[in-house]
Amino acid sequence: MPLWQIYHPPGVFEDAESKAALAADITKIYTSVGLPPFYVVVHFNPIAPTNVYVGGTPKSFNPTPFIRIVIKHIAIRLNNDTATYRKTTGMIDNALKPHVYDKGWDCEYHVEETERRLWKFNGLIPPEHKSKEHEVWVRENKPVPYEGAYWSVEKGQY
């Protein structure tokens, strides 16, 4: 799953429409590479500017909103090459452009890749990307049990 944690000051992403529009553009990044929409989770976290320090200075002294985004990728690991990283950050930048960059807001983000083997949905081990079981999850847009989806402590196997 991609998990986006968006930290923003009050007055930014306050209405449901702006949140929904950004979340939809974020979701398109991942559905375009074959992930089901339900994998994509976006948290909007308002944070008082007096609780954000950049360079040792409270961000409240700067009139430009500062948005910090932490992105965690779990479902798919990126190839470890510059071209793949640039393509990925380009897709992220395109999603952020109308919602952040075009408004002149300051924004910083980073992407973490989390170990896939420590990830589950409703107790199910997510199927491998582009497997037939994965295609069922995409089609149904929800976790669906399949053979091998449960790990049994008693049997010590998948």
pLDDT at 158 (0 to 100): 46
Q: How far apart are CA 44 and CA 62, in angstroms?
A: 21
Quick check: 28 pLDDT over 60?
Answer: yes
Quick check: 26 pLDDT over 60?
Answer: yes
Q: How far apart are CA 74 and CA 5, in angstroms?
A: 14
pLDDT confidence of 157, banded at 50, 70, 90?
Answer: low
Instruction: Read off the pLDDT of residues 114-147 as tens digits, 9 standing for 90 and up.
Output: 999 999 999 999 999 999 999 999 999 999 999 9
Domains observed in the chain: 2-118 (3.30.429.10), 120-158 (no CATH)
pLDDT at 60 (0 to 100): 75
* Residues 35/56, Cβ–Cβ less than 8 Å: no
Cα four-point dihedral sign 45, 46, 52, 54: positive
pLDDT at 154 (0 to 100): 58
If residue 86 lies in a helix (H) or strand (E), which one and from where to where?
helix 82-96
Per-position b or e across 145-154, b if 16+ CB within 10 A of its CB: ebeebeeeee
